[in-house]
Structure 1
Amino acid sequence: MALNYKKTFEQDVFAKNNGIELVEAAPGYAQAQMEVSSTHYNSVGIVHGGALFTLADFAFAVASNSHGRVALAIDAEISFFKATTKGTLTATATEIALNGKLGTYLVEITNEANEPIAHFKGTVYRKKDQVLFEES
């Protein structure tokens, strides 16, 4: 039986309220999408940096917790490359290092034309507590 990551992470109310959906997840990997709407705009009419950070952070959370141990961010940074105002944004999180207590992940945010919008790097502390996944 496969683990049902989607069912577990759909419980993230903050991501859901920001229009973020989990597309795919596997151990050390996640992809999430957000359809841009006017609720994501800042005062100059482009997607708010906080909305981009939230999208990246969600993909980061799914990838880092996908091994079944509770993983909590201890460091995160983001660089913005291109402003955007419409379309679907995709955040792809990939694990680059993992040991007993720490994990580090890169998240690339792209637009529908696969152009880079932002780059996020985060590190988690891996607790001994378990994430409970449903089997599908």
Structure 2
Amino acid sequence: MRRNLEETRAYADKDRFAVYCDIVIDEVGEGYAKCHMDIKDHHRNARGVVMGGATFTLADLCYGAACDFSAVSMTSEINYLAPATGDVLYAEAHVVKDGHATVFYEVVVTDQNGRKVAFLTMTGFKSK
């Protein structure tokens, strides 16, 4: 049985890097999660845009929340679509395939205006 929102947040609070990045889990459901990250100076690179690693970290935690932290990442591919220059980033993860031993997810990262800044695919091995 999947964790509810509060249980998912409590589990994610053990992820010290995600906590440092100020990532918040907003919604969870079966094979779905939505998260956001308020952008601070420590998220930005020398050009003033959000660091690619910060964008990836947001998407990775959102994927974890969507699969109820029940899969270990095997592969991930990220496509950066536009520079992230705003004040908030959002990630939405959706299951594409939930197999016997593996899962496959898509994650879309947008800015506060709904502009897509990154698209990810993630494959995980079910660990529980």
Please state how far the C-alpha of 1:46 moved relative to its aligned partner: 1.0
Equivalent position SS for 1:61: helix
Other structure's SS at 1:62 match: helix
Aligned-residue offset at 1:23: 0.6
Aligned to 1:12: 15
Name which structure has the greater RCO, CA cutoff 8 Å, separation 6+. 1
**Runs of 4+, deviation exceeding 3 Å:** none
Q: Which is higher, the Rg of structure 1 or of structure 2?
A: 1
Q: In the TM superposition, what are the counterparts of 1:57-136 in structure 2 within 5 Å?
A: 57-65=60-68, 70-127=70-127, 129=128
Higher strand share goes to which structure? 1
Cα offset, 1:112, TM superposition = 1.0
**TM (normalized to structure 2)?**
0.90
Alignment-derived partner of residue 132 in structure 1: none
The CA distance in 1 between the partners of 2:51 and 2:100, in whole Å, is 35
Native 8 Å contact 1:64 1:124 kept in 2: no
Structure 1 residue identity aligned to 2:74: I
Question: Does structure 2 conserve the Cα–Cα contact (< 8 Å) formed by 1:47 and 1:84?
Answer: yes
Q: Percent identity?
A: 27
Give the total of aligned pairs.
124
SS of 1:39's partner is helix
Q: TM-score, normalised by structure 1?
A: 0.85
Amino acid at match of 2:105: Y
Q: Kindly indicate whether the alpha-carbon contact (under 8 Å) linking 1:71 and 1:125 is maintained by their aligned counterparts in 2.
A: yes
Structure 2: runs of 5+ lacking an equivalent = none
